[in-house]
Structure 1
Amino acid sequence: MRETSIDVQAQLKALRLNGMATAWADLTEQGGDTTLAASRWLVEHLLQAEDADRAMRSIAHQMKAARFPMHRDLAGFDFTVAQVDRALIQKLADLSFTQDAQNVVLVGGPGTGKTHLATALGIAGLTRHAKRVRFYSTVDLVNALEHEKSQGRAGRIAMSLVRMDLVVLDELGYLPFSQAGGALLFHLLSKLYEHTSVLITTNLTFAEWSTVFGDAK
């Protein structure tokens, strides 16, 4: 019984219910095994419910903050049609590559499922592995970078994204943006390098990336 009471107290502290943890310790000291036997089942189930509720609320908050354009998962992707390495995609789904700030690029033409896969990978990492993810349309991100610079607030987006595990940049090269915007995007990616993983979807070959970033340094 003593071991169970210690576990309950530790769980209460982990949930930052310090007052309840102290009260449980007092109950253990004063009530003995009889009181603990009567209280154990209820307290443990209440703790499990609280822990599950907090986890669900945290995921809901992170999903909202990630700003995925839609909900997509790997189960809904037709690997029999797309020319995609299924085993590699499933390996990427735990986002373990973010531990070393490695990057991923999905290259393909329109309608090949790049956005679906990028979204599914981000959602899988967030919901199953507690990864922090932020999804952007590349053009929207460039517009945001240009806006913050015009407002004299340059660097704020970079500061927020460097705290992420993964930043998804969707459709690089699909829509054009200014040379100045390309330079801002280049500098942002430079700041994220070795700190935050970036997953890029694009219809451009690597040789064509210069058309996006130009002479940015």
Structure 2
Amino acid sequence: MKTDVLVELKALRLHGMAGAWADLVEQGGGEAGGVGIESSRWLIEHLLQAEGTDRAMRSVSHQMHAAKFPVHRDMAGFDFEVSPVDRNLVETLATTAFTDEAHNVVLVGGPGTGKTHLATAIGVSGITRHGKRVRFYSTVDLVNALEQEKAQGKAGRIATSLLRMDLVILDELGYLPFSQAGG
């Protein structure tokens, strides 16, 4: 099955190359019957695939860094055998479909029950498997950053950046006190 080179070039936003490719195809590749283009098609297809893969990997790397997870956690690292957590529910949450309707998820449990691990794993899944933009905050850190932003006369910047996120994870809500203004 041949790749539609023109479609792939446009998908990668390589419009100049797409125009040049269309011109070459129209002109027959400079050889009788377009043999020149067909003989090099495999190279172009390989290069397009490599570029697409590289861009996807760089995007995931960038999003993982931007999410600011405290440590990397994934679903494979969670021991469902020793935890009373509903595995099917967690796997459903890991699809991050709940973000499409802007629903909230609250993980409730005592210390050491895996809430942070699961929240991080859901966020990692959102980035790596579903192309979501995720931001992780310790609630106390977010409140402190918001108060500092307000004190500097720059209120609203963090809120604006959070509006661009598909998923915001607030960790440790309720564990540590913060000021009334911060609340």
- The TM-score by the shorter chain falls in which range? over 0.9
Structure 1 residue 157 and structure 2 residue 154: aligned?
Answer: no
CA distance in 1, matches of 2:138, 2:84: 23
Structure 1 residue 173 displacement after superposition: 1.2
CA distance in 1, matches of 2:82, 2:11: 47
Q: What residue number does 1:112 align with? A: 113
Higher strand proportion? 1
Q: What residue number does 1:9 align with? A: 6
SS of the equivalent of 1:167 reads strand
Structure 1 residue 176 displacement after superposition: 1.1
Alignment deviations for residues 164-216 of structure 1 (CA, whole Å, 9 cap, x no partner): 1110000111111111111xxxxxxxxxxxxxxxxxxxxxxxxxxxxxxxxxx
Structure 1 residue 162 displacement after superposition: 1.1
| Residues paired across the two proteins, number | 179
* Aligned partner letter, 2:158: I
Q: What residue number does 1:23 align with? A: 20
Percent of pairs with identical residues = 73
CA distance in 2, matches of 1:138, 1:67: 13
Q: CA RMSD in A?
A: 1.4
Gap regions ≥5 residues in structure 2: none
Structure 1 residue 4 displacement after superposition: 5.0
TM-score (norm: length of structure 2) = 0.94
Structure 1 residue 150 displacement after superposition: 0.7
Moved more, 14-23 or 120-129: 14-23
Alignment deviations for residues 57-109 of structure 1 (CA, whole Å, 9 cap, x no partner): 11111111110111111111011111111100000101000001000000111
Moved more, 152-161 or 138-147: 152-161
Gap regions ≥5 residues in structure 1: 183-217
Q: What residue number does 2:74 align with? A: 73
TM-score (norm: length of structure 1) = 0.79
CA distance in 2, matches of 1:63, 1:80: 28
Structure 1 residue 36 displacement after superposition: 2.4
CA distance in 1, matches of 2:38, 2:180: 70
